[in-house]
Amino acid sequence: MFRNAILRPPSSSFSQGLTTADLGIPDLALAVEQHRAYCKALEQCCLTLTVLEPEPRYPDSTFIEDTAVLTSRSAILTNPGAPSRQGEVTSVGQLLGQHFSSIKTIQPPGTLDGGDICQAGDHFFIGISHRTNEDGARQLAAILEEEGYSTNLIDIRGIDMIHLKSGIAYLGDSRLILVAGMEKLGDFAGYEIVPVEVDEQYAANCVRINDYLLLAAGYPKLAARLSALGYKTIPLEMSEFQKMDGGLSCLSLRF
Ligand code: CIR
């Protein structure tokens, strides 16, 4: 059960963030509107929100998920793999200090982005990507294992994906969403796989929160499949965040 979320709206420098998407320049006003709708959806999921001030010094700071990994036992502050994003962690760490009695930190030369971490109950899939290096992934695995979780590492450097969670999501009930082709990268035995076709890949980054599932709007095949499985989905417009390589999960830290 999640009770809280931390978010940061996009700032005036949003369009200067990192991106590989060739989808044009984001419209800030529309991004702010989409972010508001996202906040409302989290409230519908019964979360209490802490909305931080926009932070123009860090154009990617709205993608706040990358700054920490939160478990029921501790908060682990990351060291984001993109140098332009490493300063985002300080203010999030200060806030998390008010909520968590145990705060740990990924140390350089380890790098790690929260978007590479997928929790599935008491198990964590940890992506090694162009942002999360092997050192960072192993540091996190050691911290989590000490806390009693199991982990396994999934190397996604060979595929065209920014973060592990661009292609995988845990739905609860031992079910995993997986983009076609990813099943051969890791050991997913024991999970029921809900496959996502490559043309709907962006929608794989969905987020189960309590009784609901947040889903990017505009992906009818996955939406139909999830409704048929009984999930109550909340579709959200994400066009402006998609232009900056961001998905649904990266807009909040949930605990
Ligand atoms: C970046 O490249 O770091 C941002 N423009 C997008 C980060 C997306 N984060 C995520 O999927 N967890």
What digits encode the pLDDT tens for the residues 155-191? 999 999 999 999 999 999 999 999 998 999 999 999 9
Distance from the alpha carbon of residue 113 to the mean position of ligand 1, in angstroms:
9
Distance from the alpha carbon of residue 193 to the mean position of ligand 1, in angstroms:
25
Question: Residue 190: what pLDDT?
Answer: 96
Query: SS3 for 5-46, per residue?
Result: EEECCCCCCHHHCCCCCCCCCCCHHHHHHHHHHHHHHHHHCC
Q: With b meaning 16 or more CB within 10 Å and e meaning fewer, what string describes 216-225? A: bbebeebbeb
Please tell me the pTM assigned to this model.
0.97
Ligand 1 pocket check for 244: Cβ under 6 Å: yes
The pair of three-digit structure tokens given for residue 71, joined into one six-digit string: 């478990």
Ligand 1 pocket check for 167: Cβ under 6 Å: no
Weakly modelled stretches of the chain, pLDDT under 50: none
Distance from the alpha carbon of residue 206 to the mean position of ligand 1, in angstroms:
15
Helices (H), 97-236: 134-146, 220-228
Question: Residue 88: what pLDDT?
Answer: 98
Per-residue pLDDT of 101-129, as tens digits, reads 999 999 999 999 999 999 999 999 999 99
Question: Is 206 among the catalytic positions?
Answer: no
Distance from the alpha carbon of residue 18 to the mean position of ligand 1, in angstroms:
8
Nearest Cα to Cα of residue 143 among 165, 164, 127, 124: 124
Contact criterion met (CB below 8 Å) for 55 and 91: yes
Ligand 1 pocket check for 247: Cβ under 6 Å: yes
Strand stretches in the chain, DSSP E: 4-7, 48-51, 68-70, 75-77, 103-105, 117-120, 123-128, 150-155, 168-172, 175-179, 192-196, 207-209, 212-216, 232-236, 253-254
Question: Is 250 among the catalytic positions?
Answer: yes
Ligand 1 pocket check for 241: Cβ under 6 Å: no
Taking the C-alpha atoms of residue 192 and residue 209, their distance in angstroms, rounded to an integer, is 19
Question: Residue 52: what pLDDT?
Answer: 98
Residue 151: partners with Cβ closer than 8 Å, 6 or more residues away: 123, 124, 125, 126, 140, 141, 144, 145
Question: Residue 39: what pLDDT?
Answer: 98
Taking the C-alpha atoms of residue 153 and residue 173, their distance in angstroms, rounded to an integer, is 22
Question: Residue 128: what pLDDT?
Answer: 98
Domain of residue 220 covers 4-254
The pair of three-digit structure tokens given for residue 74, joined into one six-digit string: 């501790």
CATH (domain of 235): 3.75.10.10
Domain count, the chain: 1
Ligand 1: residue whose CA is nearest its atom 2 = 18
Taking the C-alpha atoms of residue 35 and residue 193, their distance in angstroms, rounded to an integer, is 30
Catalytic residue among 45, 118, 163, 206: 163
Catalytic residue among 39, 118, 206, 250: 250
